[in-house]
A and B are shown apart, each in its own frame.
Chain A
């Protein structure tokens, strides 16, 4: 991957370098698409609030290989001088260079932005922004290891909501999120990267299970409307499970502190 030329602010390597090419790539991909759990099962979740001591609130989430750290700073004063009655939510996503199979050169690309928008959408309607006029809440997300973009968006939304709760920011409810992929005629929940690549379409659902409200749905690829609704239903069921994990981890963190 080419480095951004002449970046004096970093230690630069050679002008060009390439990801190694393996002689048995196809075999490897076939091996990875095999699913070791049932179609309706999600990967085990490890969630720990409050790991980042410098932040107002934080959460670390691990779903099998996917590892994401999230920190909330603020609310702080908005920099722009125009008056706004509602607070702003600022979501920034960053991939570590070693988070994907190919190295990501440390320049902001379009994927960070689109991920940030999806996560923003998933959590923004849960926060009582009307309580923070002229203020901005910063949510910073670092993806340490990525195993499927869909799973990353879902896990990062859960982590962001947990971190916001840890920061003591008023919300209507905790957000949980789950993803699904159509593989053949089956619905596989929480697909890994190889599974998502082999699928014909994906759905990511974010909701507030306590209020039985949906905050964001993101469907891509082709599938029948029936299938999409079925995916959403399955995701919603899992979101209720995830919600209890989030609530439990927050409760344990509070009682330990």
Chain B
């Protein structure tokens, strides 16, 4: 695979070589014998078949290429007389296409299997070559010259110590660069090398230490002790970097990626790492407020996002009203975010896909990581199962808020609950080179009391098995089986005979099979199909306690089938222009058994206007929806570090949350499209310009979008959504338009790194109908609840030394729209407020600054465990950012109240450890 860049590659000596009826191994030995070559390989790599060839006036390289064609082998010309054959491994297989930069020429004859999708960035450890070194190198002579036989080796040994402390430094690489030899110091800082006599160019290399360079003229055995200095800026030089030019060369419009590492240093509330919160600091992604569950992506409702945890959907990946993520931070590796032209293999949600990947786990040694913070404790283990092959990852976390609540001893809180936990287990098995299986199980649970009478609990369950199978170098197939469930229940325990338990659940099972086929260098196809079965229990109310007279009520369940068949071609039209064009045929069928009400055209829908009830049997399609979804992106490289990217997509969504609150709550129900409720649809166009500077150290981009949506759901004022069989009479479907422009400047390397994002966006919705009861704001466009035109995020991290770093996070957002009353009136012996148009006012702007300090433990001395402390202050400015403004009527009077979730600076300390 293109490793022909060896130093002898320029050898252009032309030779003749012919043979008949030899196996490839035979041919290679013959070639070696004739040309006095040493060729290293394993005979079992070759097929048994015999071949015949006749070469005239060809270079050795071209002969080699020919001999290896049709195999998976590459060669590497080590020197004039040495060839090393290597066999492609899966690791090479997954190397990003642009790993060596876009100008790198691929050897097509030996090119490896396809990487069909956007190249996954790999961390590149930039070692310290760039450190300017003194040009004059000290020369040391060792030993006394004696008569020696040619080929005799001498011993060079010594100790390496840290200059100031005098402590021995283990694990220092001692390299003799002109001899290709090297060793590392042991725990006592001792090294020993066997070297031929003469000039040795000696270098030491160790992370955290200044390199030492010496010229050693070796005459005999001898000792050389070295003192090394601690390199203050050392860690700066070790940069985990996303694929350098990904930003510019990515083809798919509207993609982002967050590595868990990135979220580590960002100060967050109560010391909890939250990768979703980091996502919300990227342009185009926002939250309705602190304590608002869910993200709004490019003007989309929160129900239009798909959170996939190793391909299994997680309906609500947050705890405690969105304040904490429900993902174990140590197990999460990265999140790929698609907010524009979503790749064809995903479907079913209009706005975005958050593709969350967990770590694969170490297959050689047991590893653990944990943290103790003010609210939760987290723990994760990586357990090798079959050494070098498979690994189990276990992660768990829990909040001890119940304990805090109890220990406060406040009477008002007696019997109050608020707790959560989540648990994840993944098993990864590289069965062989061609097969890898990853199985995931996940569960999260929240419980809290909203009022003293009721207790709310919700849970997410997700499980998946993903099997990656490499048919050959050009076909990589993925089979996924996933099952997810979201459920909540409300337990009501009051004084009367009305105590009940209310339960809701939605469950889905998906099977997906798809293949990435690298047809040639220019075409890479993705095709496959997916099928999903939904089953919803829209609500069951049952009596609780002996005294309850509540009759069991069950809203009949809903079932549906969603399917997609898709094909995409990633087509490199030229060096500069690359297209990704795909189509996904989306299908949805609501399934019986079910009774569906029919409403006459030309009349408002309410329980009284239903004219007929249609009964559907089990497995019968009630109604089907669907159509083609186009996913198209194009990237044009204007220069090596400058590109334009455009995208178009349209999508269907068949499952919707029903909410009658201004922000999303965990007890919002998911409703499937049915006879009366149509799917939501959207179309989006986007255009962006991407520029990198300084070898991708700085990325600058601007991307604009316009999005139309149809049949988005809202509800009539004061709608009753829970336990309502005829819920279609409470909802209205309207259209939306959203547009915006997103700017991002990102610095990826250096002591100071981070990003500054600014988004200007508008999101408006319109609910129009001939009937006033189905209109909102007279059927005109009005700002959606999450319309926040200006959004600025600044995330920065500054590393002082390798142990101390300072991070900050600044956020500014226009206040979200809110419905203010226009007046008050007296009714029923009490004052009430009068509301009119929805979302005419805004709550004050949101401004927040967080600061954090990370203190790393000493790497060298504590070999067993590595620890770091995170000290952070959330909302340093202490600004009381209003979350909502509302009006209560009490004691016969109306009062305007404003609530904020975090009104004061909140300090926290978290202890993290690793072993």
Q: Do A and B form a real pair?
A: no
Show the binding face of A for B, using Cβ within 8 Å.
none
